[in-house]
Structure 1
Amino acid sequence: MKNIVFTTVVCLTLFPNANGFVYPNDGVFANPSDVHSFYQCSSSTSYLIHCPAGLVRNDAQKKCDWKVVDPIIHCAVSNQPNCREKTRWTTDGIVIVGVDSKSGSDSQHLNSILGIFVDTLHGNNVYVADRSNNRIQMFLGNSLISGGITVARGNGADSNPNQLSSPLDVYVDKNENIYIADDGNQRIQMRQKGATSGITVAGGNGGDEELNKLNILKFTNGSSDGIIVAGQQEDESSAKILSRPTNVFVDDCETLYVAVTANDRIQKACNTVAGVYGEGSNASQFNQPWTVKLDQYNNMYIVDTFNGRIQKWRPNDSAGVTIIGGNGFDDKPNQLWFSYSLALDSEGNIFVNDLGNHRIQKFNVLSETNSY
């Protein structure tokens, strides 16, 4: 833990201290000249408190906190600057877990990893759905290689509130509540921060013949019934029929993107935005695209699983660019072996799950290629 530095100066009520700031009474006050520190005044003495490195002052909660990054996307503007238009990433990944490419259940190993999520609001902590170990692992953003911390343990594969069965994916909200796609129990579990048991917020009632037709469901807050928002099988338009949808992403403008694996395409609402030329390995094609994510500039990042690569599609592009992988299937740093998920941190670094090698790799952004 980083130390907080305290500097003592003398202050009198309604008189400025040595830095010229006026204190009306005892309490905590913002430092108007620095968002990384604040003043605490008590008994005619003020303390200049510096936040640990990387944190900023949270005036509402009167504490040091991670900076909240405001979305850059402007929903009403069609032509926006793309600061990652020409961005490149390292070709070799850094392994943060699974260095020996072996499966396991200790803090340095995973087994059949699928979903991955980076909490950009809280220090870029990385969460992984460790499917065959029936658990969710967290890797601290400031010490990624120090090993995983189990934040949701299966306690045996079953359906009790403190158990998981083959978790597929994970999401963390702004309050650090964890949402888990608990595949074996056909439910979505929510675990509040620090809780040892979960609450079922969707599903958990067994398979439903009507709602099991490759649809995308939307669950509003507090509702146990899903609304079909994509994949209505009775629709005549083929763009509305989903064949094996494996991943969804909702951007800051509440636009829905779906990776439709069996159709080798990416859907935006009811329109195909990538993969209109069928299965293949050229720049405009996919072979089992499993996951799609977007950054704040609307660039799409797609896990092209059976081509062993990550493709980047800029807005309105008709073909993608390989930014990671595409070098065959093996365990070298520039290779992927059946990857199914990715996530971006607040700096644009990309984390990729490499299921065949039982590892998570981090590909660092080459900052000099950004166009800020």
Structure 2
Amino acid sequence: SCAVNNGGCDASAICSHDATTSAVKCTCKAGYTNTGGSVNVVCKDSCAVNNGGCDASATCSYNATTNAVKCTCKAGYTNTGSSVNVVCKDSCAVNNGDCGRSATCSHDATTNAVVCTCADGYIYTVSASEGIHRVSIPAGAKWSKNGVTVAGGHGGGGARNQLFYPWGLFVDDDQTVFIADWGNHRIVQYKNGDTTNGQVVAGVNGLGNGLHQLFGVIDVLIDKKSNSLIICDQGNLRVVGWSRCSGTTQGEVLIDNIYCAGLAMDEQRYLYVSDHGKSEVRRYRLGEKNGTLVAGGNGQGAGLNQLNYPTYLFVDRQQNVYVSDSSNQRVMKWNKDAKEGIVVAGGQGLGGALTQLYYPEGIFVDTFGTLYVADSGNHRVMRWTQGDNKQGTVIVGGNGVGVGANQFDRPFGLSFDRRGNLYAVDYNNHRVQRFSIE
């Protein structure tokens, strides 16, 4: 019967046979709902029937592959349920819409999207743009051989024009540089063109474990939506959020009991944290404490499913995770949901050949998949093209250890601005260098 006019079933139904009686059985396909009865099956577009069973504050659509109903919270609402049972709540009622403790959450009158406004007595002081900036760098690009100091460079110290063993950095859209000033237990901001007046934006109260203090900061990034810094507060075994509204005097603990050594964030605002103590990388939804394992987690080692002192991270648009696997002298790429990684740079033992790395630190990946590595022990920055993990090229540094404009003494943090200019933290020279793209 099913081969004849679909057994008399609705065109949007599947015809089958009852296991006992062999009578025709009509079942609505995925994405359709029976609005008739058990005998007279009438299949209607599920989204047109009670919004597909979705929350009233959700949009009903269909999975592109299976055509099953897909519920997505509308702008201004947050899913407090699960991927299967979507429950949409006013975003401002859920963790203040991720606006941070010094801001007020409201909604845009036209789009209903969340709007964060600094509370009375606070001023929003840092430029913001939506999303994670991506950089497209031509394959044959070259950079000036001599760097320009954009922060520090006046010896190690705690003055406004000094840094003291800096580690990670974040470059904002307007070329403002945020630096994890490890030895001073603070985050310092240097605006483009002003190398003498660094502004302490977190950790103004010296070393300590109070919420108003930091201890041995390793890395920093900016979450644009919540107007917050996210800080790898390694000495306190925690990751801290710190509002960028001026007047903020303390942070809040996002993740604790973690030996944080690197941070990254993807375009869905998942936070990625490398944990040196557990030789793993985890992905966290903001507000979540346990996270999901995305790299390593199989003990310290050199296997493809292991890491050994993972430090800096980079996450691409596909949520593939690049890990600076420092003590294995390699950079690993873990594709989303993979059980083991792929060596994309180094992995040939410790050394100074173009096939080798010497305790790699900061990493960056451009939109073409080209990898850039701060090769700290070789005092150079290298480029490794996609698909060629055998040998890299030196793009800046590589002129021996030193204080010259074309030299490094252990480059650590690494980033690029939107124009393709390269920024590197020069750890032992207590400075940040910018190399202009030519």
Q: Which residue identity does 1:150 align to in structure 2?
A: V
- Residue number among 354, 358, 361 corresponding to 1:283 in the alignment: 354
2:376 matched to 1:305? Answer: yes
Residue 262 of structure 1: aligned partner = 327
**Is the CA contact (8 Å cut-off) linking 1:71 and 1:296 kept in structure 2?**
no
Letter in 1 for 2:307: L
Q: Pick from 231, 234, 238: which aligns with 1:183?
A: 234
State the partner residue of 1:148: 198
Q: How far apart in 1 are the matches of 2:301 and 2:151?
A: 46
How much has 1:145 moved relative to structure 2?
A: 2.2
* Change over 3 Å in CA distance of 1:205–1:356 after alignment to 2: closer
1:196 match: 249
- In 2: Cα distance, 1:162 partner to 1:138 partner: 18
Quick one: distance in 2 between partners of 1:185 and 1:237? 28
Shift in Å, 1:297: 2.3
Distance (Å, rounded) in 1 between the aligned partners of 2:206 and 2:300: 41
Which one-letter code corresponds to 2:203 in the other structure?
R
Partner of 2:430: 358
From the superposition, tell whether residues 298 and 99 of structure 1 become closer, same or farther in structure 2 (CA, over 3 Å). same
Indicate if the aligned counterparts of 2:383 and 2:392 stay in contact, CA closer than 8 A: yes
SS in 2 for 1:238: coil
Q: Please list the CA deviations of residues 105-160 of structure 1 after superposition, one character each: whole Å capped at 9, or x if unmatched.
A: 1111000100111112xx1210000111111001113x342421111024121111
Bigger mean CA deviation after superposition, 129-138 or 144-153: 144-153
1:292 is aligned, of 329, 341, 363, to 363
Q: Secondary structure at the match of 1:113?
A: coil
**Aligned residues of 1:235 and 1:241 also touching (Cα < 8 A):** yes
Query: Matched residues in 1 for 2:216 and 2:159: separation?
Result: 17
Judged with a 3 Å threshold, the aligned counterparts in structure 2 of structure 1 residues 160 and 292 are, in CA distance, closer, same or farther, namely same
Q: Cα distance, 1:89 vs. partner?
A: 0.2
1:33-52 alignment runs, 5 A limit? none
Matched position secondary structure for 1:319: coil
Partner of 1:129: 180
- Residue 109 to residue 273, structure 1, CA distance change in 2 (3 Å): same
User: Partner letter of residue 150 of structure 2?
Assistant: I
Give the corresponding residue for 1:249: 314
C-alpha separation between the residues in 2 aligned to 1:92 and 1:236? 38
Q: Which residue of 214, 230, 238 maps to 1:164?
A: 214
Per the alignment, in what secondary structure is the counterpart of residue 340 of structure 1? strand
In structure 1, the residue matched to 2:416 is: 344
SS at match of 1:272: strand
Higher RCO, 1 vs 2 (CA within 8 Å, ≥6 residues apart)? 1
The structural deviation recorded for 1:271 is 0.9
Letter in 1 for 2:197: G
For residue 343 of structure 2, what is the aligned residue in structure 1? 272
Q: State how far apart, in whole Å, the 1-side matches of 2:276 and 2:384 are.
A: 32
Q: Secondary structure at the match of 2:143?
A: coil
- Alignment partners' CA distance in 1, 2:302 and 2:184: 40
Does 2:384 match 1:334? no
Contact kept in structure 1, 2:281 and 2:293, CA below 8 Å: yes
Number of residue pairs matched by the alignment: 291
1:98 aligns with 2:149: no
Q: Is the 8 A contact 2:325 2:332 kept in 1?
A: yes
> Per-residue displacement from partner, 1:182-203 (whole Å, max 9, x unpaired)?
0111000001122221011111
The 8 Å contact of residues 113 and 130 in structure 1, kept in 2 or not, is answered as: yes
Deviation, 1:229, is 1.8
The unaligned stretches of length 5 or more in structure 1 are: 1-58, 74-81, 367-372
Matched, 1:238 2:303: yes
What's 2:385 paired with?
314
1:319-355 deviation per Cα after TM superposition (whole angstroms, max 9, x unaligned): 1110010000010000000111111111110111111
TM-fit CA distance, 1:93? 0.4
Measure, in 1, the Cα distance between the counterparts of 2:433 and 2:140. 22
Give the CA deviation at 1:98: 2.6
Given residue 241 of structure 2, which amino acid in structure 1 is its aligned partner? Answer: M
> Which ranges of structure 2 fall in alignment gaps of 5 or more residues?
1-109, 116-126, 261-274, 335-340
SS at match of 2:412: coil
Alpha carbons of structure 1 residues 335 and 200: separation in structure 2 relative to 1, 3 Å: same
Shift in alpha-carbon separation, 1:289–1:211, aligned structure 2, 3 A: closer
Secondary structure class of the residue paired with 2:285: coil
| Larger-gyration structure (1/2) | 2
Residue 64 of structure 2 is matched in structure 1 by none
SS at the partner of 2:304? helix
> 1:253 deviation in Å?
1.8
Query: Displacement, 1:96?
Result: 1.6
Note the aligned Cα RMSD (angstroms). 2.6
The alpha-carbon distance between structure 1 residues 154 and 206, as it changes in their structure 2 partners (threshold 3 A), is farther
* Aligned residues of 1:214 and 1:245 also touching (Cα < 8 A): yes
**Does 1:85 pair with 2:139?**
yes
Q: Judging changes above 3 Å, is the alpha-carbon distance between structure 1 residues 206 and 303 closer, same or farther for their aligned structure 2 residues?
A: closer
Residue 168 of structure 2 is aligned to residue 115 of structure 1: yes
